[in-house]
Amino acid sequence: MFNIPEEYEMKMSWEEAELIIMKSGKGNLYDGLIAVQDKLKDKRYEDDFFYNCSYELNAYNVVFKGMSEFLATE
């Protein structure tokens, strides 16, 4: 999960987060999670990273948390 500064935190539903991550992954949830992680390495986002990527980062955290909780119940 990403540590997001409070001013960039936002609440979103699983459905909203899933759509954002799926879009990043061109229809694949796992690829979307990897794509968001790769933004950390992308120099275009170095300045104002949280400003530019706040939706994707918050969506990542929602999906990651949801998947972790699901796997914990298995």
Q: pTM of the prediction?
A: 0.86
Q: What is the mean pLDDT of residues 29-41?
A: 91
Q: Given this model, what pLDDT does residue 33 score?
A: 95
C-alpha 29/C-alpha 24 separation (Å) is 8
**When comparing pLDDT for 59 and 72, which is higher?**
59
Q: What is the mean pLDDT of residues 35-53?
A: 83
Beta-carbon contacts of residue 60 (< 8 Å; ≥ 6 apart): 1, 2, 17, 21, 33, 36, 37
Owning domain of residue 22: 10-73
Q: Given this model, what pLDDT does residue 44 score?
A: 73
Least confident of 24-28, 38-42, 45-49: 45-49
17 falls within a domain: yes
Q: Given this model, what pLDDT does residue 10 score?
A: 96
35 falls within a domain: yes
Q: How many structural domains are present in the chain?
A: 1
